[in-house]
Amino acid sequence: MSTDIPLTNDSVESRYQFKSISVASTPEGSDGTWYRYVIIQGTNEITGLRRGNHGEVNVAVREMVDRLNERSAGKSAKKIKVPSPKSPPFDVSNV
């Protein structure tokens, strides 16, 4: 006998999405054209500034969204190999 468990589709709400890009004021001490971008994930909002032309910033932010989605899905998570010690730091049997 098997029981069907209904699955909820949270994937759209949990995914990062590009929301907007607009010209921003140049930060003090900087030059060039700056853009303010907004990335959303559910009810969360990430805003940032980036220098460049509209096309460059648009591509960079969309690549950032792709990387965030890959990381949240675990696709690019890297395993860290921790070496095991060759001998214990002290002998606990004599304590």
6-65: pLDDT as tens digits: 334 445 557 999 999 999 999 999 999 999 999 999 999 999 999 999 999 999 999 999
Which long-range contacts (C-beta less than 8 Å, at least 24 apart) are formed by 61-70?
Answer: 61/18, 61/21, 61/37, 62/18, 64/39, 65/16, 65/17, 65/18, 65/39, 68/16, 68/39, 68/41, 69/15, 69/16
68-82: pLDDT as tens digits: 999 988 764 555 565
pLDDT of residue 9: 44
pLDDT of residue 27: 92
- The pTM of this model reads 0.64
Residue 35: CB atoms within 10 A of its CB come to 21
Helix, coil or strand: residue 39: strand
Domain ranges of the chain: 11-73
pLDDT of residue 78: 55
